[in-house]
Amino acid sequence: MNRRCADLGVGLMQVDPENDPVLARALVGTLRDEWRPAADAMAAARGWERRAYVVLTLATAARRPDWLRNWLCARPGDLDAKAVQCAVESLRGRD
């Protein structure tokens, strides 16, 4: 099986763009400091397991934080953005 990988500067994260194009676009968007693809990925995530996977994947990519900051500023009440922010803080060991 041929897998394509996106190097996000946080280690090697494997996302198959053919099987998961929405999340792949979101991860590429984080590299470009674009938040809308991440918002689209969260909006498309149905079911708790999928949402948790998307949140944690985006949180791991948030080591380049501008895209997340821009999302939070553009949509201050967006619960999806806040979920990613909480996951980022959790992964970083903050309270």
Render pLDDT for 7-36 as a digit per residue (tens, 0 to 9): 443 444 578 888 999 999 999 999 999 999
Beta bridge partners of residue 12, listed in sequence order: 7
Count of beta carbons in the 10 Å neighbourhood of residue 93 = 6
Domain boundaries, the chain: 5-91
Residues 6+ away with beta carbon under 8 Å from 57: 13, 15, 23, 26, 27
40 vs 95: which has the higher pLDDT = 40
